[in-house]
Amino acid sequence: MIGKRHGKRQYVIFSCMMMALTCLMMTLVLSSCGVDDIDISEYSDAQIELTGLGDEPVVLTPADLKAMDCKTLKTESTSDKIGKVRATGPELDTVLGNYGTSKADFSKIIINGSDEYDVKLLNDYITEHKIYLAIGIDGEPLDEESIPCRIIIPESDSAYWVRMVKSIEFVK
């Protein structure tokens, strides 16, 4: 009788551990944890100018961004233009942390694309949303229409997802 009871307890513990492991694995799959290794060699030295972080502009490249703490995330825009994507790159606060600041320190951020498209994000918006500087999409390097990086703001209108980012201006 003792052996059977002991066996049932082990079975219950084992079953609970397997259920917990299954839940953890499903969470990882659904949240797309991990980082895609993107080959950015074709545009690794393209320049992105950051102004407003100090007295002089800062120049970053996709290689600099790749060397930071990048994330790969699955998201989609709230508009129908883009749909679901899996983007890889650092969060803007990760980039700004290298300069002793965060996006909350600014009244607005102006993101300029080389196609003359720009977006102005005000403090309320930038503090409520995560902003990523994507160096790859769907496990692949960015296409010619998006390099050197693309802004991804999860669960937002794709009108804010500036492509061909050439500069970002930070206004206090």
CATH number at residue 70: 3.90.420.10
For residue 107, tell me if it sits in a domain.
yes
In this structure, which amino acid lies at residue 121?
L
User: Quick one: 74 and 130 in the same domain?
Assistant: yes
The pLDDT, as a whole number, for residue 78 is 79
110 compared with 30, residue with greater pLDDT? 110
User: Quick one: 20 and 53 in the same domain?
Assistant: no
17 compared with 168, residue with greater pLDDT? 168
User: Quick one: 64 and 105 in the same domain?
Assistant: yes
Tokens 């551990």 belong to which residue? 17
169 in the Ramachandran plot: left (φ > 0), alpha (ψ -120 to 50) or beta?
beta
47 contacts: CB under 8 Å, gap ≥ 6: 59, 60, 61, 148, 166
The pLDDT, as a whole number, for residue 32 is 36
Taking 70 as the threshold, does the pLDDT of residue 33 lie above it?
A: no
Task: Report the DSSP beta bridge partners of residue 120.
Answer: 110
**pLDDT tens sequence across 124-152:** 999 999 999 999 999 999 999 999 999 99
For residue 113, tell me if it sits in a domain.
yes
- Strands (DSSP E) contained in 10-164 are 48-51, 58-60, 70-76, 84-90, 108-113, 118-122, 132-134, 136-137, 140-141, 150-152
For residue 37, tell me if it sits in a domain.
no
Q: How far apart are CA 58 and CA 49, in angstroms?
A: 6
Q: What is the mean pLDDT of the chain?
A: 84
User: Quick one: 54 and 99 in the same domain?
Assistant: yes
For residue 39, tell me if it sits in a domain.
no
For residue 41, tell me if it sits in a domain.
no
CA atoms within 13 A on the CB side of 113: 19
Name the percent of the chain lying above pLDDT 70: 79
114 in the Ramachandran plot: left (φ > 0), alpha (ψ -120 to 50) or beta?
alpha
For residue 40, tell me if it sits in a domain.
no
The pLDDT, as a whole number, for residue 11 is 59
Domain count along the chain: 2
Its domain, for residue 90, covers 48-171
**pLDDT tens sequence across 58-99:** 999 999 999 999 999 998 777 767 778 899 999 999 999 999
Tell me the mean pLDDT in the region 100-117: 95
For residue 96, tell me if it sits in a domain.
yes
User: Quick one: 19 and 86 in the same domain?
Assistant: no
Q: How far apart are CA 162 and CA 152, in angstroms?
A: 8
User: Quick one: 16 and 61 in the same domain?
Assistant: no
Closest to 146 (Cα-Cα) out of 85, 95, 71, 64: 85
The two tokens of residue 32 are 């797309």
For residue 118, tell me if it sits in a domain.
yes
Name the percent of the chain lying above pLDDT 90: 67
Mean pLDDT is lowest, of 6-15, 102-111, 119-128, for: 6-15
